Each structure stands twice: as structure tokens, then as C-alpha cells.
């Protein structure tokens, strides 16, 4: 089953709200499920409060997130984005799994040797 445009737009809004909360350090308003988890090359797999604490740590280093592209397929949103930090701009691709209007799991991919990583 394909997503309608309104479904895709709703899912993109969830991801954009997620980014906004991370950049602003507003972790209590993160649109995440109770079983939220994440994985990155630097953190490995994290669940629950550990995953949210990690977001707080990386969010504190960011001044902004610039989205290049979202691709929505079912309950998954792939996002090419750039983290803007004092060290520079870090290009990242993230794959987010949604459950309703919340993020259940995020897996990000980036070059750990990049100067901005």
C-alpha cells in the first residue's frame, strides 16, 4: 500500500519536529515511543533513556539541522540531512521507523572520519 500525500506530509512533520526538539534541547517534547531506540556509528545501539540522553549530547553540539531530502515508504522515513556544528557541516543519512505519530527507532549513517564528526 502506498502512502497518500497527506500521510507522507504527516510523517515528514514528525521527523522535522524530532529534529527541532533535538536542536533546541527540548527532549521532553520529543515525538518518540516508550520503546524508542537509536543507532549510530559513534554510539552503537541505545534504548530508552540512554538513547534520549545521547540525543541531548549531540543536540548540544548542533546549531541547526538542514534537511536535504525525505523519502517516505510505509512506516519508514529516510532523511538526508546536514548537522551544523562549530566543527563544520556533517552530512548524514538517517532511517527512522515511525509508529503512529512518533519515532520508534532511528539509525544514522555518516563518515566517522569526517572532520565534523
Q: Is the pLDDT of residue 3 over 80?
A: no
Which pLDDT belongs to residue 116?
87
Which pLDDT belongs to residue 117?
86
Give the residue extent of every domain in the chain. 5-109
- Residues 34-84 have pLDDT tens digits of 999 999 999 999 999 999 999 999 999 999 999 999 999 999 999 999 999
Q: Strand 44-47 and strand 102-109: pairing?
A: unpaired
Name the architecture of domain 5-109: Roll (3.10)
Amino acid at each position: 500500500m502506498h502512502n497518500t500525500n497527506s500521510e507522507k506530509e504527516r510523517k515528514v512533520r514528525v521527523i522535522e519536529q524530532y529534529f527541532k526538539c533535538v536542536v533546541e534541547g527540548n527532549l521532553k517534547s520529543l515525538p518518540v515511543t516508550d520503546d524508542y531506540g537509536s543507532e549510530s556509528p559513534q554510539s552503537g545501539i541505545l534504548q530508552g533513556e540512554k538513547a534520549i540522553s545521547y540525543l541531548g549530547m549531540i543536540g548540544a553540539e548542533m546549531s541547526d539541522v538542514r534537511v536535504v531530502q525525505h523519502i517516505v515508504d510505509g512506516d519508514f522515513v529516510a532523511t538526508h540531512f546536514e548537522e551544523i556544528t562549530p566543527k563544520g557541516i556533517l552530512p548524514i543519512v538517517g532511517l527512522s521507523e515511525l509508529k503512529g505519530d512518533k519515532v520508534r527507532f532511528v539509525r544514522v549513517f555518516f563518515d566517522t572520519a569526517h572532520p565534523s564528526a
